[in-house]
Amino acid sequence: MAARIGIFAVVVAVFLSIPAFSSAQDLQIVNAERRIDLSSHIVKAFLTLKVENIGKSAAAEMLLAFSPTQIKNLAMVQALAITGKKKKKTYLPLDVKPTEQPDAPNDTGYYRVTFVSPLGPGETVSLEVLYILTHSLEPFPVEITQSESQLVYYHDSAVILSPYHVKQQTTFVKTPSTRVESFTSIEPANRAGKEIKYGPYENRASYSYAPVIIHFENNSPFAVVEELVREIEISHWGSLQITENYRLTHGGARHKGVFSRVDYQSKRSVSGASSFNALLAVLPPRVNSVYYRDDIGNISTSHLRTGFRKSELEFEPRYPLFGGWRATFIIGYRVPLEDYLFEASDGRRYLNFTFGCPLVETIVNKLTIKVVLPEGSKDPSAILPFTVNQDLQVKYSYLDIVGRTVVVLQKDNVVPTHNVPFQVYYTFKPIYMLAEPFMLVSAFFFVFVASLAYVHIDLNIARK
Amino acid sequence: MAAKPIASPIPVALYPTLSVFTLTIGLVITAIFFIYETTSSRKNRSLGKELATSAVASVFLGFGSLFLLLASGVYV
């Protein structure tokens, strides 16, 4: 009898100790509208969700689900909460983090979005989610000749994958041109010009998935930087020297057959429709000493336009890039120190610089940023709005004795939306700046002392 | 919370001028040192004077070469 009461008490205690937040089934998406932009090789999807809490307890967060292939290619997920109506809408950024759920069906990946304030029972909230996918357009045919246009597959689901019940949803897909070879039709679906509309779909259960394939023409430049190493060297004597090593490829349908320069130059609109030869790099405003070279030497096909808010370097590799072709080059430039190095309130110095790649509309598969701190810097630390791999190295440069500390930040799958400022903090005593001139002074003094010794030493054997 | 920008202790535009002046002064004092060495005899040479001249000359030459490096773009 006592044992039974004991067991009952334990069971009640277990039930009471379950957290008072809703589980996945207590939220419901009333309305979802998804707009997928397939104009460039970076796929951008905008999701507008109206989420309602149909449970009995407050919900502090919700989950966004992605299929296993999408999770691998996701470069960035951002969420905003919309408050206010019509003209007075305000957008508040929400915290989004990747998460894992133990009972995920078919290896679904999740991102957890935390609300501004917990959603009470019966309340609704409007969210806008932006997610960016890289390497999601699959070229088909895989190989094309110079005179063909590039056609790609896009795989997705007509029904939004969600752990919650979705009452009403529509998906709009925007293609870059009106040429769409085929698209899977899941009623009601229709195409008008450059837009394909899937929906509206009513009352879909959680985790419902309707795979579709859209086969369309996309001749936008598939510029993929396989590896980019950016080195930012800080010199307290007045400048920041940035050196960028690029390995650029064309990530679209591979080129087969010969390359005819005659066809390429005479029929430019038809020949090499998916190739590209010009690239644009956005550099800081007060930039000087810009150079663009590769292993052979200087590459003169470049134009630099400096401006007040930014500078633009329009450059061309030595040859146009077709599918599967590569180009390796180095871009370097110098910027004044006072634009980027600041003193924090606690006495530490910090570098405020932009992360990411200066090239527009390019994906970087592997990005490494090395911040070379001057000799004598201690306690380096980096603050970034997203996760990167951090490491420390030592580099020996001009007039160095102990070497310079290098903060190495490494990230995969970087898109232009990652071009946000980041900070690297370190402590530095200004007296250490005198170490370099002191080395030069002592070198010259050594020469003088050597000449003095030569003059004073008597090497005569004969006694005077 | 306006962060204070950190700049070089010496204005960057002054580097070429400074390098010319400090190097000239350094070379003049080096010349004085070597003239003293060659014109004085072993008996009336004063080690203190020699060391003082060489110290001043090496300071000026050291800073001059630093500003020369900075002016030519090698930001050490």
Tokens 């690239």 belong to A279
The reported pLDDT for the residue numbered A2 is 59
The reported pLDDT for the residue numbered A22 is 43
**Residue B17: which pLDDT band, with cuts at 50, 70 and 90?**
very high
Tokens 């001059």 belong to B64
Interface contact A448-B58, CB threshold 8 A: yes
Asked if residue A154 lies in contact with residue A69, where contact means CB atoms within 8 angstroms, the answer is no
Interface contact A338-B5, CB threshold 8 A: yes
Residue A463 CB-density burial (10 A; 0-12 exposed, 13-18 middle, 19+ buried): exposed
pTM of the model: 0.86
What is the DSSP secondary structure assignment for residue A375, as one 8-state letter? T
The reported pLDDT for the residue numbered A456 is 83
Cα–Cα distance between A398 and B34 in angstroms, integer? 30
Cα–Cα distance between A380 and A211 in angstroms, integer? 48
Interface contact A398-B76, CB threshold 8 A: yes
**Residue A8: which pLDDT band, with cuts at 50, 70 and 90?**
low
pLDDT digits (tens, 9 = 90+) for A416-453: 999 999 999 999 998 998 989 999 999 999 999 999 98
Q: Would you call A177 an interface residue with chain B, using a CB distance cutoff of 8 Å?
A: no
Q: Measured between beta carbons, which residues in chain B are less than 8 angstroms from residue A437?
A: 62-63, 66
A13 pLDDT more than 70: no
Cα–Cα distance between B6 and B4 in angstroms, integer? 6
Interface contact A441-B73, CB threshold 8 A: no
Q: Measured between beta carbons, which residues in chain B are less than 8 angstroms from residue A451?
A: 34, 37
Sheet holding A279-283, edge to edge: A279-283, A311-315, A302-305
B38 three-class SS:
helix
**Tokens of residue A436, six digits:** 């370099």
pLDDT digits (tens, 9 = 90+) for A233-278: 999 999 999 999 999 999 999 999 999 999 999 988 888 899 999 9
Q: Is the peptide bond before B9 cis (omega within 30 degrees of 0)?
A: no
What is the DSSP secondary structure assignment for residue A430, as one 8-state letter? G
Of A338, A397, A451, the CB nearest to B6: A338
Asked if residue A93 lies in contact with residue A77, where contact means CB atoms within 8 angstroms, the answer is no
pLDDT digits (tens, 9 = 90+) for A15-69: 444 444 444 568 899 999 999 999 999 999 999 999 998 888 888 888 899 998 9
Question: What was the ipTM of the complex prediction?
Answer: 0.94
Query: What HEC string does B2-35 produce?
Result: CCEECCCCCCHHHHHHHHHHHHHHHHHHHHHHHH
Question: First-to-last CA distance in chain B?
Answer: 31
pLDDT digits (tens, 9 = 90+) for A173-232: 999 999 999 999 988 889 998 999 998 999 988 888 999 999 999 999 999 999 999 999
The reported pLDDT for the residue numbered A18 is 43
